[in-house]
Structure 1
Amino acid sequence: MTMREAIVYAGPRVEIIDSPIPKAQPGQIVTKVVVSAANPKDWRRPARLPDEPAINQGDEHAGYVHEVGEGVTEFKVGDRVAALHEITKSGGSYAEYAVSWAHATFHLPPNTSFEEGATVPLTAMTAAVGLYAKLRLPEPWLPAEKEIPLVIYGASSAVGYYAVQLALKSNIHPLICVAGRASERVQKLLDPSKGDTIIDYRGGEAAVVQGLKDALKGRKLEYAYDAVSENGSYQNIAQVIDHHTGAITVVLAGKKYDEIPESIQKPFTFVGFLFSDLKDFGYVYFRYFERGLEEGWLKPQPHELVPGGLHGVQQGLLNLKEAKSSAVKYVFRNEEQ
């Protein structure tokens, strides 16, 4: 049995090929993909590593369980699920069937569509890894009991949007959010009475730095989540964060971040850690996301359906590269022609 699969080359350029339907290995799930979601890394990685063999770069997906591997007891064939495919491995989500590990899969509650579910796995988990595994901030089930100023740079981005929601669930305030065109969406989540505010980066770097200082009102800043990690973001944060106890978590691979003073911690946030030393972390947070979706406090990122199914992947990745739409997740219904 074969399936259609989209292979992503630098450009981005996408080729649709026929591939064998993957088999579930022990601990794995094969999902019949209904919706797959695009992420910036899907075009950035081939561009950064053009000499590597082209692969199916898709990771975020939602659909129906097709097969479960040995040892998988939490899921059964036919379950509605969302999942994160292990980055760079075979069985990616730009295909009719995708592979995920059971710990990186969660049930979709009835009130969540496949399109909504597909926006969650990679980006919400990246937010959680940065906040809780790297910055070591109070987790939502043991929320903060005192003020903890936190800067979220790129708060209206896919990762930033979930970082804001999780930080609020952890009772972290004041939240100082740097955003642009889609700042109104973030503003609706914040609590100004607790010092939460938004700074528009379009005012220029000097205005951003001054805005950060004004929002802090003399408080010490020790934590920052840089969901942008380029275009002056971490340099701006470095001008206001404490140079002895501060930590800026950054998200873009392949950079040294030398502009951040050595006295400031700069832990790297990467969702791929879920497949090495953060497996238990991933297991717990994916099930917490399921609860958040069901209870309504975790709001999926707004999405835009790109027509053409797998044939639309190239256009979706081009849209991301050209930043055609702010704060919208591009999704594909994989079986659509």
Structure 2
Amino acid sequence: MLEAIVQPSLEVTIVESPIPTPAEGEILIKVVYSGVNPKDWKSVVYSGQSLNSGDDIAGIVEAVGGKVAGFRKGDRVAAFHQMRAPHGSFAEYAIAPTHTTFHLPDHTSFEELPPPWEPATTPVPLIVYGASGAVGAFVVKLACRSNIHPIIAVAGNGRPMVEKLLDASRGDVVIDYRRGPDHVISTVQQLLKDQRLESILHAFDTISEKGAAELVAQLLAPDGHATFVLPEKDYSAVAETILTSLTYVGYVHTGPFPADPNKGIKFNPAGHGADFSAVYSSLFTRGLQDGWLTGHPFEVVSGLGGLPTALRNLKAGTVSAKKYVIRISDN
């Protein structure tokens, strides 16, 4: 099979590799589309190690390993490959664990890829910093499903897309971070006044760099809780005023990172990553089937040869309110 190896220079080498064999609890997927994310360049550049760094998979089950139930050859699925492990999604075939794989309804296209069961009954203000990215947009969608409002979405060029996800009648707003921190702070203060809310206790910062974490800390009450996405960053200054934690997609394979006071991470989320993933994978299938969960806006890149350009554009920050997906096969 063909496999793309991303170099620290973001050059991509296409190599011939053997088709992998799924181990116990794993699924071999014929990749139709692979998503491309900022972490796909960061994990290679920051580590200095060449890697097939793709992890988002949409495709068709080719084979299953031992002790796999609920999946069989020919199933249409989406999956999350274990980060930094062999057999990633920038290839014609990829491996994923069963607990991070879910079925795709027939009406959900492969390109769209991407607790609601206890909806809130009182206003729960939530800041989503970076709401136009794929992670931020899905935070907004799940928050709406959980009846969490008002949502204070912070975005830039992607503002029109974010506005379509929000409910202005519930107090949801989009704030343009490009107008500066003072504008963000004053707008949030006015929102609290207008809606007669005392403070904001919760924030999901999907950027966690370039001053985002520090601004989020200013927006929250002293006993507020913000979760961040970059495990490499030192959050010590932020942790002086608020509760801090990491929300990291790799938890579904490794379990939550432990609290790390040296980096300002105070809180270790409870629960087991695999169990969390199994529950939410089933929820995603149902959400796609029922229509309350939809895919992120996307741009199709044809073939692995288009991967270097996609990675460089993500690194340069020129991609807004859309996700690159690499077409690897025609089903």
- Kept in 2: contact 1:205–1:232 (CA 8 A): no
- For 2:219, the equivalent position in structure 1 comes to 240
Q: TM-score, normalised by structure 2?
A: 0.91
CA contact 2:10–2:311 (8 Å) conserved in 1: yes
Please give the secondary structure, in 2, of the residue aligned with 1:82: strand
Is this contact kept in 1: 2:119–2:147, CA < 8 A? yes
Which aligned pairs between 1:108-147 and structure 2 lie closer than 5 A?
108-116=104-112, 119-120=113-114, 139-147=115-123
Change (3 A) 1:11 1:211: farther
TM-score using structure 1 length: 0.89
Partner of 2:306: 312
Deviation at 1:319, TM superposition (A): 1.5
Post-superposition Cα deviations, 1:291-319, rounded to whole Å, max 9, x if no partner, equal 11111111100110112x11111111112
Supply the distance in 2 between the matched residues of 1:229 and 1:74 (Cα, whole angstroms): 37
With over 3 angstroms needed to count, the CA separation of the structure-2 counterparts of 1:64 and 1:261, relative to structure 1, is closer
1:202 Cα deviation after fit: 1.2
Matched, 1:228 2:200: no
**Which runs of structure 1 show a deviation greater than 6 angstroms over 4 or more consecutive aligned residues?**
none
Structure 1 residues 1-337: aligned runs within 5 Å = 3-50=1-48, 52=49, 54-116=50-112, 119-120=113-114, 139-217=115-193, 218-243=197-222, 245-276=223-254, 277-307=272-302, 309-335=303-329
CA distance in 2, matches of 1:88, 1:266: 25
Which amino acid in the other structure matches residue 314 of structure 1? P
Sequence identity (%): 46
TM superposition shift of 1:335: 3.4
Find the residue that maps to 2:22 and give its secondary structure. Answer: coil
The 8 Å contact of residues 217 and 241 in structure 2, kept in 1 or not, is answered as: no
Where does the alignment leave 5 or more consecutive residues of structure 1 unmatched? 121-138
Q: Which runs of 5+ in 2 are unaligned?
A: 255-271
What is the RMSD computed on CA atoms of the aligned residues? 1.2
Aligned to 1:131: none
In the alignment of these two chains, the number of paired residues is 310
User: Could you report, residue by residue, the CA deviation over 1:10-44 in whole angstroms, capped at 9, with x for unpaired residues?
Assistant: 12111011111000101000001011110101111
State the distance in 2 between where 1:37 and 1:322 align.
18
CA contact (8 A) 1:176 1:197 kept: yes
